[in-house]
């Protein structure tokens, strides 16, 4: 008996392809391509359960009439609800999912049952949990197989890659090594970055599936790519970083030559042999930064290379093989790139399985001290003399700053401080000098953005038809603002008392109302 376990894909399941007109998605793709006797389809809440129910109905209505379900005419679909606090709820996933799956398998009372996990649907937390389950040995009697289906948009055909679960025989030991010996997870203080680092550390041990890093400019995608490469036990393997922005406006022959290599005379101007990035990355990591800048024709060639790891240099009939780990990154919106045909859907389907959005620093200010220490430890800032008191002032200012360019903004301020510290000769920076620098480059802080939003909400509410019945709502908004603001030293006098007048001016609410709301909060 073949039993498939899969999460419902909220955004991608039951989606109609614009090119083929087919209803598809990562769960259906497996049912198109492989035979299973039972599908246990997991949901994490009421909304996803409704989507799973629709998929079940779609399959049952069409499996006997449509060719795409010819391999699964008799499949039985069981809907499973595993409540989570969020789709990224790692703790509950790791505690509940293995027990749930084990209970289901025991219920079959069949020692010959074949177990399959679908890696292509659900959140990255859900995918990581399948990997952990396959690798810890808990289900070793059933040798769970990890499946990664890919849809070829042009033809509507499905190609399913099977990942060897035996590459994860020591995940518990690996997790301990990451936590204690390498210190990679605890490098960051924010929970989200710790989760990302743990996943990347596990994946780096040989999964071979591409990784996609998303996030605003300056969030550290390139740094994470380098860290990912260092996590791999092949310490001497090459790390090939490709700035795809260099391809914009370039001749297509040059782009293909850079990626796949060429032989002399392959095209006009090709006066020598060239190996190409794919060949140079053999046994190591190929990092493609800003993937949307790769021409579409080159993306299509990359698809074949990702599937087989085989390719031909331009002008050559010889097939080359390169065993590389692919990392891709972009600060652009994926959906927008797909709509504008800047990114091939087929290419995106190959690289989406492990995708991580690196949060901007304004959403994880607790990581700013970590990043600052790493920068201060680099060669360029070795001459920057900042004592601990001044450093604390620097961190405080950075946390209050918007940092729209993220790490690059931190570098900007460090460069300015470096200049100050060398004029007229090397000296230790004071807290006053650091405060002065931020005053010179002042802009609305995140606290001020917060209070501005609150003020706009209060003012807008008074102009609506709901105003008369909305005092309770207004008071709730005001309470939220006051509860946060009273914690800050910025709204207190030197003697520690709350500066009511400053709050009145900031929020545009009268003195009496502020005092009344504060009494309710106490």
* Mean pLDDT estimate for the chain: 82
Are 477 and 493 a contacting pair, CB within 8 Å? Answer: no
Q: Which residue has the higher pLDDT, 323 or 141?
A: 323
pLDDT above 90 covers what percent of the chain?
Answer: 37
* pLDDT at 451 exceeding the cut of 70: no
Distance CA 164, CA 144 (A): 9
pLDDT value of position 232: 72
Rounded to two decimals, what is the model's pTM?
0.60
CA angle 407–410–411, rounded 5-degree value: 90
For 400-422, letters b (16+ CB in 10 Å) and e give bbbbebbbebbbebbeebbebbe
Return the top range by mean pLDDT from 18-22, 125-129, 341-345: 341-345
What does the pLDDT look like over 33-75, one tens digit per residue?
Answer: 888 999 999 999 999 999 999 999 988 887 665 555 566 567 8
Return the top range by mean pLDDT from 40-44, 147-151, 462-466, 482-486: 40-44
Tell me the average pLDDT across 217-234: 87
* pLDDT at 180 exceeding the cut of 50: no
* pLDDT at 511 exceeding the cut of 50: yes
What does the pLDDT look like over 98-149, one tens digit per residue?
Answer: 889 999 999 998 888 999 999 888 887 788 788 778 766 667 777 788 888 7
Are 428 and 387 a contacting pair, CB within 8 Å? Answer: yes
Tell me the average pLDDT across 157-186: 54
Phi-psi region of 14 (alpha: psi -120 to 50; beta: other; left: phi over 0): left
pLDDT value of position 28: 85
Are 319 and 126 a contacting pair, CB within 8 Å? Answer: no
The residue among 199, 284, 200, 202 whose CA lies nearest residue 235 is 284
Distance CA 177, CA 205 (A): 12
Distance CA 357, CA 88 (A): 12
What does the pLDDT look like over 255-308, one tens digit per residue?
Answer: 999 999 999 999 988 889 999 999 999 999 999 999 999 999 999 889 988 888
DSSP count for the chain of H helices, then E strands? 20, 15
Tell me the average pLDDT across 222-237: 83
Listing DSSP states for 228-282 in one string gives HHHHSS-TTS-EEEEEGGGGTT--HHHHHHHHH-B-TTSSTT--S-B--HHHHTT
CA-to-CA separations, 14 to 17, 56, 155, 214, in angstroms, rounded: 10, 10, 18, 25
pLDDT above 70 covers what percent of the chain?
Answer: 80
Q: Which residue has the higher pLDDT, 57 or 509?
A: 57
pLDDT value of position 125: 77
* pLDDT at 168 exceeding the cut of 60: no
The residue among 284, 278, 288, 259 whose CA lies nearest residue 348 is 288
């Amino acid at each position: 008996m073949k039993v498939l376990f899969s999460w419902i894909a909220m955004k991608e399941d039951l989606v109609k392809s614009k090119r083929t007109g087919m209803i598809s998605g990562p769960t259906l793709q497996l049912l198109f391509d492989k035979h299973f006797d039972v599908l246990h389809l997991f949901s994490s809440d009421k909304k996803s359960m409704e989507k799973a129910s629709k998929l079940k109905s779609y399959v049952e209505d069409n499996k006997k009439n449509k060719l795409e379900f010819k391999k699964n005419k008799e499949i039985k679909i069981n809907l499973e609800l595993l409540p989570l606090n969020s789709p990224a709820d790692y703790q509950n996933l790791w505690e509940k999912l293995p027990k749930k799956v084990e209970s289901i398998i025991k219920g079959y009372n069949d020692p010959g049952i074949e177990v399959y996990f679908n890696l292509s649907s659900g959140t990255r937390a859900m995918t990581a949990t399948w990997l952990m389950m396959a690798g810890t040995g808990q289900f070793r009697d059933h040798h769970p197989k990890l499946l990664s289906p890919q849809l070829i948009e042009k033809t509507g055909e499905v190609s399913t890659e099977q990942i060897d679960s035996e590459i994860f025989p020591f995940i518990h030991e690996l997790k301990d090594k990451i936590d204690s010996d390498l210190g990679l997870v605890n490098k960051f203080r924010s929970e989200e970055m710790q989760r990302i680092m743990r996943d990347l550390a596990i994946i780096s041990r040989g999964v071979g599936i591409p990784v996609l890093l998303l996030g605003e400019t300056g969030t550290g995608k390139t740094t994470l790519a380098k860290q990912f490469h260092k996590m791999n036990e092949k310490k001497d393997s090459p790390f090939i970083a490709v700035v795809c922005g260099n391809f914009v406006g370039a001749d297509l022959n040059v782009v293909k030559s850079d990626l796949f290599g060429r032989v002399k005379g392959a095209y006009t101007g090709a006066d020598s042999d060239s190996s190409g990035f794919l060949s140079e990355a053999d046994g190591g990591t190929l990092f493609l930064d800003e993937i949307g800048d790769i021409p579409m024709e080159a993306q299509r060639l990359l698809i074949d290379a990702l599937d087989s790891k085989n390719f031909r240099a331009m002008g050559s009939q010889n097939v080359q093989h390169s065993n590389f780990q692919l990392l891709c990154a972009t600060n652009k919106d994926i959906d927008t790139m797909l709509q504008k045909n800047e990114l091939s859907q087929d290419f995106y389907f190959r690289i989406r399985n492990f995708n991580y959005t690196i949060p901007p620093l304004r959403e994880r200010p607790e990581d700013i001290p970590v990043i600052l220490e790493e920068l201060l430890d680099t060669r360029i800032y070795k001459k920057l003399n900042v004592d601990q008191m001044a450093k604390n002032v620097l961190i405080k200012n950075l946390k209050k700053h918007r940092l729209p360019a993220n790490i690059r903004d931190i570098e900007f301020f460090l460069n300015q401080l470096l200049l100050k510290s060398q004029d007229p000769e090397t000296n230790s920076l004071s807290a006053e000098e650091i405060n002065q620098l931020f005053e010179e480059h002042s802009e609305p802080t995140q606290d001020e953005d917060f209070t501005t939003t609150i003020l706009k909400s209060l003012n807008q509410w008074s102009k609506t038809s709901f105003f008369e019945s909305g005092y309770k709502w207004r008071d709730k908004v005001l309470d939220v603002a006051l509860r946060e603001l009273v914690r800050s030293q910025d709204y207190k006098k030197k003697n520690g008392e709350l500066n009511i007048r400053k709050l009145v001016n900031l929020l545009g609410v009268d003195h009496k109302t502020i005092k009344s709301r504060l009494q309710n909060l106490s």
